[in-house]
Amino acid sequence: MVFASCKKDDNTDSTKVYNDSKGTTISITNSQWFTTTKGNSSSSIGYVNLLLSGSTNADKVTVRTFGDGIINDEDVVLDSKRTFNKDTIGISFMHYSSNPPSDEFESSTIIKAYKGTDTLVITLNSGKLKY
């Protein structure tokens, strides 16, 4: 069994604020993308993961995950001040034989903030990743 990891800091020093015309806002203070691998000499799985923190004025926030064709919008827990600090979110995974692909790649996910009947949809991009 092999386990490896690398990470990419998307926003280490700045907050990105997203809003829409109806006033729904989400601020991303940290989004760290990283990859991990698990497996053995004949078969392995590569994972794309995300650490996410920030704040919102919304009632609910979700993060889109996918893998093997299954799409899910995972709830992000908001505290009483509507801030969040979501530990490792498995955004996607892929199977490969023996050695992980060596090429760089990019991933993305969709963040949704729901406030009443309004939905703010943003896309976060990973930048360059590698297994």
Q: Give Cβ neighbours of residue 61 (< 8 Å, ≥ 6 apart).
A: 26, 75, 76, 78, 84, 111, 112, 113, 114
Distances (CA, A) of 37 to 23, 30, 97: 40, 23, 12
**CA gap 60, 114 in Å, rounded:** 5
From 66, 48, 65, 64, select the one nearest 119 (Cα to Cα): 64
- Residue by residue, pLDDT tens for the chain (131 residues) are 333 333 444 444 589 999 999 999 999 999 999 999 888 777 888 899 999 999 999 999 999 998 767 899 999 999 999 999 998 899 998 888 767 778 899 999 999 999 999 999 999 999 999 98
Residue 26, judged by CB atoms within 10 A of its CB (0-12, 13-18, 19+), counts as buried
- d(CA 17, CA 125) in angstroms, rounded, equals 15
Global pTM value: 0.83
Give exposure, 50-65, as e/b (b: 16+ Cβ within 10 Å). Answer: bbbbbbbebeebbbbb
What local confidence, expressed as pLDDT, does residue 8 receive?
A: 42
